[in-house]
Amino acid sequence: MDVQAIYIKEMIERAKSACSSAYNIYSKFPVGACVRSNIGKYYDGCNVENGSYSLTICAEASAIASMVNGGCRLVTDVVVFSNLAAECKPCGACRQIINEFANDSTKIHVCDVDGYNIRTILIRDLLPEPFILS
């Protein structure tokens, strides 16, 4: 097994674990995420819903906030997991948040409901024209 496959497997397990902590009483759609920083540290997050949906925090945003709090600023890999949907990709807002802390080689790994990596997508392909403040 190559090194990338090993860390993706670890990230999927962490995202699955985070998914089990999701606070999703409104949508009933639990999501967990794990991001890997450029120094190889992992940060996990889960969705945290609110009665006012616009205040809901997505799993990816939660994980990236944890990464930033940990002093890292570059995401190399992201895994998003839900046990209710295969290929649970980041929403539009999360694509923009990921992009803020990404480079051209940042990868999004999507998996099936059993937690097997089935596809890897570059962030630039998921969000080809991000908003950039200039």
Convert the pLDDT of each residue in 38-53 to its tens digit.
999 999 999 999 999 8
Q: What does the buried/exposed string (b/e) look like for 43-72 if buried means 16 or more CB atoms within 10 Å of the residue's CB?
A: bbbbbbbeeeeeebebbbbbbbebbeeeeb
What is the per-residue pLDDT for 5?
87
pLDDT in tens, 69-114: 999 999 999 999 999 999 999 999 999 999 999 999 999 999 999 9
Model's pTM, two decimal places? 0.94
> In order of start, what are the domains of the chain with their CATH numbers?
3-125 (3.40.140.10)
CB 32 within 8 A of CB 16: yes
Kindly list the catalytic residues: 60
